[in-house]
Amino acid sequence: MGENPNAAQQSPAQTSPTQQIAAGYTTEGAALELGTVLIDGAVDPAARVRIPLATLNRHGLVAGATGTGKTKTLQGLAEQLATAGVPVLLADIKGDLSGLARQGVPNAKIESRAADTGDDWAPAAFPVEFVSLGGKSSAVPIRATLTQFGPILLSKVLDLNDTQESTLGLIFHWADQRGLPLLDTKDLRAVIQHLTSDEGKADLKGIGGVSSATAGVILRALVNLEAQGGEDFFGEPEFDPAELMRVVDGRGVVTLLELADQTTNPRLFSTFLMWLLAELFEELPEAGDLDKPKLVFFFDEAHLLFTDASKAFLERIEQTVKLIRSKGVGVFFCTQLPTDVPNAVLSQLGARIQHALRAFTPEDQAALARTVKTYPTTKHYRLDEALTSLGIGEAIVTVLSERGAPTPVAWVRMRAPRSLMAAIGDDAVTAAAKGSPLYATYGETVDRESAYERLTTKIAEAPAPPAAAAPESRRAEREEPGVVAEVLGSPVVKSFLRSAASALGREINRGLFGTRRRRR
């Protein structure tokens, strides 16, 4: 990182095409080194391509087909960010990024790549936290409560339509008003069962426009989520996104998030990443333009987030991505095709690292044509041919310069990571996780005052109602003011109210994504 050594004072006519391209990547401040320019099969080790650290909060895209080198590109970016003191969140869906915690092993391929990219390669290891999305994993399990997760993101996980999403929002609103924290799936299931029961009909009618049939559909979707392992994720202790912002001995901590047992519901994984981003958006103060970001967030398998998303959901993603850059957070979407990302979001991504695309089918060819149109014009490459001819570990790149203008399109041979390019094994991950300061906080599930268990007990033990009540008693009950009196008639709600000794208040203040805004 630092000043580009190839910024010689020469006229364009005196410089080679590779140097002309590299001149557009000259930086004065710190930058991440991507690799070197390649034209007509020849690489120029002196023609460096880089991303200024100060522009990383303008977000980016890393795309390419399976096996083209995307994962190693992410690994290399995470290494350099950590070295620069920038924390990183990196999804490790396939489990092969754990090698960041170990030094790389030199070999002939690495030495050849180092020579091509002008890199003084040396093995290095980096500070890594291993976390997993609930489930039974060797990493530290992290969770969120349903109250914090909110109805909009949960609707995405449950694959609800717009009407069902609105209904779920009303159910959350009803629980919020009565100070009923929904900690896990059992709590929400009990609330829905109450609202669809005979004793809950009045409550269901009172929240307006909610049919028992729609509530039943939501209940069935929730039961399916539990069967897919979702009940292991929702609960306490709830993960604090501030844990992602740690710096140790001047180096940013790389938090690796694995999928654990949620392979049957990858939609939950991608939506959880959006929840983290929404939480950071709500919590972080405005920071303006910084020399380097506070955090870089790599959003892997991004297509899962956008597939079948409602218009309202997409609008919230667009707004979050647009505004979170002013809080010092950079977001990189990682996927196979740029067309997986909606245009409204794609237009906000300043850095583009595109590995090879496949064009075997008419749909692939159409996606290739659309991808070419998103790049600046270039006289050095035919992009439709280049994008299908890239070798492993090569990419078509354009980023934002320090003055905010797009850089020339470059065919880049990417630098090799300095950490181990292989998994380190479950035993090593377990040892690292149990030695982490996060383990004491998040290692074990807390099921405080389980609403579901207490509910079933209370229903079983509920005494029969008296045959008749004195007129004075009935009159006193009618005159009892406040929210508690409105719901005491229901044993379900009575159980919830007991478990809500630390209730959030009459109504929860929710943010852009319907997530509960934390009280400082």
pLDDT digits (tens, 9 = 90+) for 54-112: 999 999 999 999 899 999 999 999 999 999 999 999 988 777 899 999 999 999 999 99
Q: Which range marks the domain in which residue 349 is found?
A: 12-93+273-423
Same domain? For 400 and 278 the reply is: yes
Domain-embedded: residue 76 = yes
C-alpha 353: how far from its chain's center? 19
- pLDDT band at 462, cuts 50/70/90? very low
pLDDT band at 236 (very low <50, low <70, confident <90, very high): confident
Residues 6+ apart with CB under 8 A from 172: 147, 150, 151, 182, 514
* pLDDT above 70 (res 455): no
- pLDDT at res. 477: 35
Q: Where are the alpha helices (DSSP H) in 64-200?
A: 70-83, 108-117, 146-149, 151-158, 162-177, 185-195
Task: Please check whether residues 398 and 303 belong to one and the same domain.
Answer: yes
Q: What is the pLDDT of residue 456?
A: 53
Q: Kindly provide the residue ranges of all beta strands, DSSP E only, lying in 174-279, ordered along the sequence.
A: 247-248, 251-252, 254-258
**What's the rounded mean pLDDT across residues 8-13?**
50
Residue 431 within a domain: no
Element (H, E) at 33: strand 31-39
- Higher confidence at residue 179 or residue 45? 45
Q: Is residue 255, in this structure, part of any structural domain at all?
A: no
| 418 phi, psi to nearest 5 deg | -100, -10
Instruction: Say what percent of the chain tops pLDDT 90.
Output: 50
Say if residue 77 is in the same domain as residue 25. yes
CB-facing half-sphere around the CA of 121: CA atoms within 13 A: 25
Proportion of the chain above pLDDT 70, given as a percent = 82
Q: What is the pLDDT of residues 114-172, one digit of tens each?
A: 999 999 999 999 999 999 987 667 899 989 989 889 899 999 999 999 889 989 999 88
| pLDDT > 50? residue 312 | yes
The verdict on 292 and 396 lying in the same domain is yes
Winning range, highest mean pLDDT, from 7-21, 69-83, 292-306, 462-476: 69-83
Of residues 368 and 7, more confidently modeled: 368
Question: Is residue 244 domain-resident?
Answer: no
In a domain, 220, yes or no: yes
pLDDT bin (cut points 50, 70, 90) of residue 439 is: very high
Asked if 488 and 400 sit in the same domain, the reply is no
Q: What is the pLDDT of residue 457?
A: 54
Integer CA distances (angstroms), 49 to 21, 27, 389, in order: 9, 10, 20
Q: What digits encode the pLDDT tens for the residues 481-519?
A: 333 334 334 444 444 333 433 333 344 667 667 776 654
Same domain, 302 and 376: yes
Q: What is the pLDDT of residue 90?
A: 93
Q: Judge whether 115 lies within some domain.
A: no
As for how many domains the chain has, the answer is 2
Average the pLDDT over each of 158-162, 200-204, 288-292, 446-450 and give the range with the smallest value: 446-450
Structure tokens at 308: 């079948």
What whole-number distance in Å separates Cα of residue 244 and Cα of residue 472? 59
CATH of the domain at 89: 3.40.50.300
Number of residues written out for the chain: 520
196 located within any domain: yes
Mean pLDDT value of segment 253-258: 94
- Among 423, 458, 475, identify where a domain stops: 423
Same domain, 328 and 381: yes
